[in-house]
């Protein structure tokens, strides 16, 4: 008969032995969540300015997003071989995300390329104004993504996740750095149309609600309900003070309520916006020369020129991250039927984008402002039919550019192959793109995390490398 002897066992030993140690894993996750909740309950304004992980080159970001998929081989990635082999047949093994063997025909660019500026970087005739400021740009010709559909690719470019809802990059940056002006939102999106993936592109998701992007719409009323509805500012202040006291007491009674904290912060920001936002949108203070630079008429409140000028003014007023979206999920750059539609869309944005670069530079703001131009993917250098007028989606390689704080100027990084089909040199994945943007803001992308559902999340997930070759 076997004898069993009992010996004391600690709670830690019990957890480590039970169910193969999964008890200890669960306990550590619970403790980590508890610590995270304690950190969130600290009485600190979530939008207060915070230091980065190291000295930043950029203080603000202006993110220019062109919806629908801009063709790289018609804009910033010249391909003489594609012209030479126009209408020649080829076989591809991946067509719009489908694997197999597909017969296609090369399609030449619709526009000519020319060297621009002192750097001699080639830009197509679609962007003559941007070509004139190419010496300020860092052109990336080796960007790649993970998905060939608009929704997923747009979501990936904005959130780092191509499949699931996650916080937007602007929300992550707001969470990591706060804002320089508590009277304005830290993250603003200027768009008159709804893009693919809709509001998820500027959603905070599981981050505190105060980090969600605020949408501004071109027009006579860019922000709804901005005017106070009571007789005087004194009366409004009294009402808001009473409301603040009641909310704070409710928060004491119900700690760790993220939605309530976000609502309180939104009230405080909204009150500040009533005094500060009208000044941001008042373009009467701009000179005629500045309005002409952006292609604007006095009193005009629409157009991409208006969006870019308002973005500059918001950055001047301390907004951390401003995104300008040119078009929505229709009538955009998705030119399956006729690439000549690119001309209409490029004309809409070309002058304003170049004006933004020039304006920031002459004001000394380009030294600490990062300007990013991108799209969700490129377009195929081939089509299923000879002499096809359009192009299809192409996520394997496409082009984007950055300008401003902390970047080398007038350079090209990376390359696609002779036809613009695949990355040939220095691949820059969307995760690398995001990691580099964060780095320029003084943020280590591996350390900007938020605990949610038992794990630490970050913008770049478990991927991403800073593209050090483009840093000044």
Confidence band, pLDDT 50/70/90 cuts, at residue 231: low
CATH of domain 56-223+281-470: 3.40.720.10
What pTM does this model have? 0.87
Instruction: Return d(Cα 74, Cα 339) in angstroms, integer.
Output: 9
> What tokens were used for 218?
């071109």
Q: What is the pLDDT of residues 89-140, one digit of tens each?
A: 999 998 777 788 999 999 999 999 999 999 999 999 999 999 999 999 999 9
Residue 195 gets which letter from DSSP?
Answer: P
Check residue 260 and give its pLDDT.
67
Of 350, 414, 404, 420, nearest to 132 by C-alpha is 350
The residue to which tokens 């007491």 are assigned: 249
Terminal C-alpha separation, the chain: 78
Under 8 Å between Cβ of 109 and 79? yes
Beta carbons within 8 Å of 462's beta carbon, 6+ residues apart: none
Backbone φ, ψ for residue 216 (5° rounding): -115, 130
**Most confident by average pLDDT, 227-241, 260-274, 307-321:** 307-321
Mean pLDDT of 30-38: 42
SS (H, E, C) 414-447: CEECCCCCCEEECCEEHHHHHHHHHHHCCCCCCC
Q: What is the pLDDT of residues 173-187, one digit of tens each?
A: 999 999 999 999 999
pLDDT above 70 for 13:
no
């Amino acid at each position: 008969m076997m004898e069993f002897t009992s010996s004391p066992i600690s709670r830690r030993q019990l957890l480590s032995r039970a169910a193969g140690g999964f008890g200890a894993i669960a306990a550590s996750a619970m403790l980590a969540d508890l610590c995270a909740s304690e950190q969130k309950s600290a009485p600190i304004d979530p939008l207060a300015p915070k230091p980065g992980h190291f000295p930043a080159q950029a203080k603000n970001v202006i993110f220019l997003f062109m919806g629908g998929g801009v063709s790289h081989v018609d804009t910033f990635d010249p391909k003489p071989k594609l012209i030479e082999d126009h209408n020649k047949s080829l076989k591809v093994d991946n067509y719009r995300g489908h694997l197999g063997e597909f017969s296609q025909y090369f399609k030449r660019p619709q526009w000519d390329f020319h060297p621009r500026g002192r750097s001699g970087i080639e830009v197509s005739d679609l962007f003559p104004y941007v070509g004139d400021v190419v010496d300020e740009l860092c052109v990336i010709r080796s960007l790649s993504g993970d998905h060939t559909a608009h929704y997923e690719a747009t979501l990936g470019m904005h959130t780092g996740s191509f499949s699931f809802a996650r916080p937007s990059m602007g929300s992550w940056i707001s969470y990591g750095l706060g804002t320089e002006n508590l009277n304005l939102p830290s993250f603003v999106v200027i768009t008159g149309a709804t893009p693919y993936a809709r509001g998820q592109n500027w959603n905070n998701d599981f981050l505190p609600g105060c980090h969600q992007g605020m949408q501004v719409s071109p027009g006579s009323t860019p922000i709804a309900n901005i005017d106070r509805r009571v007789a005087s500012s004194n009366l409004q202040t009294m009402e808001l003070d009473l409301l603040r006291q009641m909310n704070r007491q409710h928060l004491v009674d119900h700690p760790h309520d993220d939605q309530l904290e976000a609502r309180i912060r939104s009230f405080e920001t909204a009150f500040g916006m009533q005094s500060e936002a009208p000044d941001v949108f008042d373009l009467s203070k701009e000179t005629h020369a500045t309005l002409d630079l952006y292609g604007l008429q006095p009193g005009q409140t629409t157009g991409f020129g208006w969006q870019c000028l308002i973005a500059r003014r918001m950055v001047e007023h301390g907004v951390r991250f401003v995104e300008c979206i040119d078009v929505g999920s229709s009538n955009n750059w998705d030119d399956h039927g006729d690439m000549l539609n690119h001309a209409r869309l490029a004309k809409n944005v070309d002058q304003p984008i170049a004006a933004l670069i020039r304006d920031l530079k002459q004001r000394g703001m380009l030294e600490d402002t990062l300007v990013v131009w991108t799209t969700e993917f490129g377009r195929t250098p081939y089509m299923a039919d000879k002499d096809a007028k359009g192009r299809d989606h192409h996520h394997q390689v496409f082009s984007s550019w950055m300008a401003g704080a902390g970047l080398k100027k007038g350079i090209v990084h990376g390359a696609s192959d002779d036809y613009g089909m695949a990355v040939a040199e220095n691949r820059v994945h969307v995760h690398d793109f995001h990691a580099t943007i964060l780095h320029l803001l003084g943020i280590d992308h591996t350390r900007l995390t938020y605990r949610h559902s038992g794990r630490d999340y970050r913008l770049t997930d478990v991927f991403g490398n800073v593209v050090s070759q483009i840093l000044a």
